[in-house]
């Protein structure tokens, strides 16, 4: 069976109810210029050069409302993924694919692609700055106490400034700025289905295991961070003298992500509150052991250097001989064949939470 996700997104009706607006989904005739069915990770119809940065920006934001499709739809509204100075300079002086003004870029722009300069014209720099700005606005929107969809409030803040959202205690009405902000919010949220693509797995059925696998699969592409992550989502980790290092530097302390056991904990929480580390997760579920020929989606698999006291890795069974896991520093949450996820000789046990 081919491993592809089928994720239906009923976003237009939800958005209309959330911000009290009537929505018409209008597809621009120029959409074909950006359409690439590159799938995976919950994203589609995005140029290849934007895709990794969108996924990275999404993974760096702990706010649940942030998704790759939201960032992609916003980029489409801002610039149609254009990167030339002729096509991506607005009459108001906003620059680049994410349309930053100079003052806003000074606040959010950094050299994310490590090419020696922070530029709103560099795709990596622009998308990562867009992600950080939107992440901050989403957090602000949820803390504001204003009604409506936090995504709508955040988008309005990106377009018009948070002061306009405060002025109207919500998305500014059509009478504000000739309806520019109002239309901007409508367009982006209505276009989400165009960019919401398949993830990594086709997950059918319901119940504790499939539900946990389904939840974990939404974090595909999230970086590995030793000691990072938990029930609320990804976070920075730490180095312990042995783990968390990449090229001689402590990668975990500056990487927002999961390690193997925090991904499992996140997937099952709050319905099943598993402990934080792999060995304890085995201890909490070992009374429900499963043989390899009876594995079901959502079952936990453990690898050990010798016995239950030396368990060093845990993964989630994804069906068809595949696992979903956070492998190690320098990698991301991904699907791999069970027999290649870790050394086959180290496979220890499987359990069913």
Select from 288, 272, 215 the least CA-distant residue to 64: 215
3 state DSSP class of 12: helix
Per the CB < 8 A criterion, the answer to whether 236 and 252 are in contact is yes
The pLDDT tens digits of the residues spanning 131-157 come to 999 999 999 999 999 988 999 999 999
Per the CB < 8 A criterion, the answer to whether 150 and 137 are in contact is no
* Residues 326-352, mean pLDDT to the nearest whole number: 93
d(CA 279, CA 266): 16
Tally helices (H) and strands (E) across the chain: 13, 9
* Domains of the chain by start residue, with CATH: 11-195 (1.10.530.10), 208-351 (3.90.1720.10)
Q: What percent of the chain has pLDDT over 70?
A: 87
* Residues 30-46, mean pLDDT to the nearest whole number: 48
In the predicted structure, residue 11 carries a pLDDT above the cut 80: no
Select from 276, 312, 279, 290 the least CA-distant residue to 209: 290
Residue scoring higher pLDDT (218 or 246): 246
d(CA 304, CA 298): 20
Tokens of 121: 């014209």
Q: Strand pairing of 256-257 and 300-304?
A: unpaired
> Counting Cβ atoms within 10 Å, is residue 104 exposed (0-12), middle (13-18) or buried (19+)?
middle
CB atoms within 10 A of CB 163: 8
3 state DSSP class of 353: coil
CA distance from start to end of the chain: 25
Residue scoring higher pLDDT (20 or 174): 174
**pTM score of the predicted model:** 0.52
d(CA 95, CA 320): 47
In the predicted structure, residue 56 carries a pLDDT above the cut 70: yes
The pLDDT tens digits of the residues spanning 259-284 come to 999 999 999 999 999 999 999 999 99
Residue scoring higher pLDDT (42 or 341): 341
In the predicted structure, residue 6 carries a pLDDT above the cut 50: no
In the predicted structure, residue 4 carries a pLDDT above the cut 70: no
Tokens of 275: 């402990």
Element (H, E) at 350: strand 347-351
pLDDT value of residue 272: 97
In the predicted structure, residue 120 carries a pLDDT above the cut 60: yes
Place of tokens 């009405």: 173
CB under 8 Å to 228, separation ≥6 — which residues? 234, 235, 236, 237, 238, 252, 255, 256, 257, 258, 259, 262
Cis peptide leading into residue 270 (ω within 30°): yes
d(CA 342, CA 353): 21
């Amino acid at each position: 069976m081919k491993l592809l996700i089928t994720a239906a997104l009923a976003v237009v009706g939800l958005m209309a109810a959330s911000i009290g607006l009537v929505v018409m989904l209008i597809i621009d005739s120029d959409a074909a210029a950006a359409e690439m069915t590159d799938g995976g990770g919950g994203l589609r119809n995005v140029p290849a050069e934007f895709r990794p940065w969108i996924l990275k920006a999404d993974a760096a934001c702990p706010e649940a409302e942030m998704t790759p499709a939201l960032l992609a739809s916003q980029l489409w509204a801002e610039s149609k993924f254009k990167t030339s100075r002729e096509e991506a300079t607005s009459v108001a002086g906003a620059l680049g694919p994410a349309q930053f003004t100079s003052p806003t870029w000074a606040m959010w722009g950094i050299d994310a692609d490590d090419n020696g300069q922070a530029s709103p014209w560099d795709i990596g720099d622009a998308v990562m700055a867009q992600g950080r700005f939107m992440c901050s606005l989403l957090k602000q929107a949820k803390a504001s106490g204003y009604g409506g969809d936090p995504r709508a409030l955040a988008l309005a803040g990106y377009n018009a400034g948070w002061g306009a959202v405060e002025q109207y205690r919500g998305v500014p009405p059509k009478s504000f700025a000739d309806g520019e902000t109002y239309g901007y919010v409508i367009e982006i949220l209505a276009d989400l289905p165009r960019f919401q693509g398949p993830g990594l797995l086709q997950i059918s059925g319901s119940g504790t295991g499939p539900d946990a696998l389904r939840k974990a699969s939404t974090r595909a592409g999230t970086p590995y961070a030793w000691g990072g992550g938990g029930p609320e989502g990804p976070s920075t980790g730490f180095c312990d003298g042995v783990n968390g290092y990449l090229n001689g530097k402590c990668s975990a302390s500056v990487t927002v992500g999961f390690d193997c056991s925090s991904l499992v904990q996140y997937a099952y929480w709050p319905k099943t509150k598993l402990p934080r580390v792999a060995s304890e997760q085995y201890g909490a579920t070992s009374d429900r052991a499963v043989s390899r020929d009876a594995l079901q989606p959502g079952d936990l698999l453990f690898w050990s250097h010798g016995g239950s006291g030396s368990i060093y890795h845990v993964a989630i069974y994804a069906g068809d001989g595949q696992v979903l896991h956070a492998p190690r520093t320098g990698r991301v949450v991904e699907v791999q064949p069970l027999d290649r996820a870790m050394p086959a000789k180290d496979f220890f046990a499987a359990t069913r939470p």
